[in-house]
Chain A
Amino acid sequence: MTNFVWTVLPYLCLAVFVAGHVWRWRHDQFGWTTHTSQVLENRLLRLGSPLFHLGVLGVAGGHLMGLVVPASVTEKIGISEHAYHLIAVWGGTVTGLMLVTGLVLLIIRRMINGRVRRVTTGMDKVLYAALAGMALLGMIATVGVNLLGGGYDYRETVAVWFRGVFWFQPDAALMSGAPLVYQLHAIGGFLFLALWPFTRLVHVWSAPLAYLWRPYVVYRARRGPAPSPTASPNQVRDAAREPSVRR
């Protein structure tokens, strides 16, 4: 069981993540959108959406730093263990709180505003639940364990296992000793990746950075064959008036 969870499940999830995106792109570019509801409700969104999105960007950056960059590297470039800990805990707490506050506002918005509630799909609800679950586990790990509790050095276990997944050498033993909340957050993270391509989260991959250097006005040639001319009403009328004399 432990082997399955820590060595097989990540690959299943990543496979779904990749295949799911390919499938979605090929079959549903029409559904590939942020699905904005700002026209329907603006007041809560105005506060909630930037908080949530900026929080997410911070949290994503934190995960990148903690999971992808080995402790030896940060040490080499002159960041001591203590300094890293401070940055990670306080950075994680602040951006995490932004994320949670934004998410709570957005969920409240979905619930109390009838207009937005009507356009909320089942998949949206699954996504919000997943986001809330992941945020909760993450906040327990960051605030509960590392800020208020005794602390846990995930960079020696979780991060090593995580990188191992991408070298195709995941070490299950590293994870089985980790605290439960880290285990759940790691499993949840991979399951979340598997859910990703089927939700509106695909809009993340469409972040329009190309806008920064493309020309303002876009021209495109018409596609498809030229249509055949269609008779105007006058031509139809005139044709009816002159019974085929010419032929």
Chain B
Amino acid sequence: MRIRAQVAMVMNLDKCIGCHTCSVTCKQTWTNREGTEYVWFNNVETKPGIGYPKHYEDQDRWHGGWQLDEKGRLKLRSGGRVKRLSRLFVNPDLPSIDDYYEPAAFDKDILVNAPAGLKDTPVQQPHSALTGEPMALTWGANWEDSLGGAHEHATGDPNLAKMSAEAAERVKFEFEKTFLFHLPRICEHCLNPACVSACPSGAMYKREEDGIVLVDQDRCRGWRMCVSACPYKKVYVNHSTGKAEKCTLCFPRIEAGQPTICSETCVGRLRYLGIVFYDEDAVLAAASVTDEHDLLEAQRAVFLDPTDPAVQEAARAAGMPQEWLDAAERSPVWRLISEYKVALPLHPEYRTLPMVWYVPPLSPVLDAVGEAGRDDTDADDIFHTIRELRIPVEYLAELFTAGDVEATAGVLMKLAAMRSYMRARTLDGTVADDLLDGIGMTADQVEAMYRLLAIAKYDERYVIPVAYSKDAAALEAQATANQDCALDCEGGPGMTTQASAESFHLVEGEQVRPGRPGLFSRRADGRRGFTINPLRGGA
């Protein structure tokens, strides 16, 4: 067993109202630069829909993620090492910018500088951010918002193609009547990342301490294999710098113990952040399970129980400080994934072991219950609907359990039972034990789950320990053992430098200089580099 910690996320889709606040704050933070106009590290899709970039889930076309070869060995769907190098000159699986959308800019000065007394209202025209030419807006990252244009496009949703023909036909036939929900997506920071595995230069890496997947901007050579290998299409080419960029899980914030900017600003409070312990040696076997329907259980089995003394001992031996062990025990992500088992991974069949999981939405089912003339507050009616109505459940199963309808239905029933249980308890003052038997949970568990899903406060939703350096943890352990002075005593090694989200810098030992114009600027030594400094223009 080789224990590692991973910062993971769970999103409760029932609470997503599709406001795109996460997308906007993420863009303002990370991708408001030339070359990344079309890039959304966080985007919110409406499902059913083809997504962003278009049809990204269609792996027959993009060859993203992993698959098993004839001998049952795990290999990248886009091919092995030699095949990849043979495609350096042109990557046949790379989406073009038109598969995302052509970014546009508006000349707002036309409105500001319009002279008084004009007869006609001045209009700002869209101009292509790529060519500067006037253009027509025909697509965007959330063009299908709330099923806009679904009757034209959404039949191309790759998840529909995998559903049973009859159910898919009914969805296609009356889109606006069937169901819709929003799906916020960021990089999955996978345990078995296809992008990292496909990077020819070795510039992409997974951090040992927290599992965040990053691109080393100094080592990326622009071979663009990561873009096509990622089945979620969450690595992008910056066409201005010629390098790959991706969601960083806001690591400067995470290191300082703060949630990512998308979580921090989430209006629906649907995101949960915490660490999970996992066994690195078990990853490959879990990703290589033959039956796709077994993938969910295999992925859950990779996680280690943070309350198990043996696991805690292993974590300490691996150099993790006590705060990390405490955080792992309190992790809302661990509870939702492994204890309550209501969170599911997005497309486990890609075999990347994604680390952003989702509590599937019950609302499409509840809508269907109401439409069928049943009582959407009655657990039995909901159970029956979940069993009988194939459309929302089959669709959700394609998304979260590789088509395993039973697994998805089980989670939905847990959510429905929790809802009815709490309703009975709060309104009637009764304890509906029969509901608990059906889902195999205790009353305490259901109430704790209810609290976590419905009313959890900031500190319960985001349990993020401050980053540590391995050496420091070891030194501290040594110092404590010797009854010596602590690291942070006057003049001790802990007093030398202190970094925070505000003074984060990719290269150690350098001062951040305030007042720099952009993210990529000259460093103190004259090299061009990646600096982050929110205190722009002084301070």
Contact = CB atoms under 8 A, between A and B. Distances in A.
18 contacts: A31-B528, A34-B222, A35-B242, A36-B223, A38-B91, A46-B92, A118-B132, A119-B239, A206-B201, A211-B81, A218-B199, A218-B206, A221-B209, A225-B508, A226-B255, A226-B472, A228-B499, A232-B458
Nearest to A114: B131
Contacts of A207: 88
Interface string B465-489: 0111110100000000000000000
A36 B222 contact: yes
A38 B236 CA distance: 12
Contact of B97 (A33, A34, A39, A211): A39
Interface in A1-60: 26-42, 45-46, 49-50, 52-54
A219 interface: yes
B81 A212 contact: yes
Given A220-B206, A226-B467, 15 more contacts: A29-B219, A30-B218, A30-B520, A40-B96, A118-B131, A210-B202, A211-B200, A212-B81, A223-B506, A224-B469, A226-B499, A227-B504, A228-B499, A230-B258, A232-B257
Q: Interface on chain B toward A: helix, strand, loop, or mixed SS?
A: loop
Interface in B189-224: 192-193, 196-197, 199-202, 204-210, 217-224
Contacts of A33: 220-222, 241-243
Contact of A221 (B457, B466, B470): B470
Contacts of B204: 218
B207 A221 contact: yes
Given A39-B94, A225-B508, A227-B256, A220 B201 contact: no
A210 B201 CA distance: 8
Contacts of B224: 36, 38-39
B90 interface: yes
Interface in B435-460: 457-459
Nearest to A117: B131
A8 B467 CA distance: 57
Interface in B68-117: 81-82, 84-85, 88-92, 94-97
Given A33-B221, A211-B84, A220-B205, A234 B458 contact: yes
A115 B257 CA distance: 41
A114 to B, nearest CB: 4
A63 interface: no
Interface of B: 81-82, 84-85, 88-92, 94-97, 130-133, 192-193, 196-197, 199-202, 204-210, 217-224, 227, 237, 239-243, 255-258, 457-459, 462, 466-470, 472, 496-501, 504-508, 520, 526-530
A64 to B, nearest CB: 20
Contacts, number: 197
B500 A222 contact: no
A216 interface: yes
Q: Interface on chain A toward B: helix, strand, loop, or mixed SS?
A: loop
A51 to B, nearest CB: 9
B201 A208 contact: yes
A243 interface: no
A222 B242 contact: no
A216 to B, nearest CB: 4
Contacts of B457: 234
A212 B130 CA distance: 36
Contact of B94 (A38, A214, A219, A233): A38
Contacts of A117: 131
Given A40-B97, A208-B201, A219-B208, A28 B528 contact: yes
Q: Which of A45, A54, A212, A229 has the most CB of B within 10 A?
A: A229
B208 A222 contact: yes
Q: Which of A34, A52, A216 has the most CB of B within 10 A?
A: A216
A49 B94 CA distance: 14
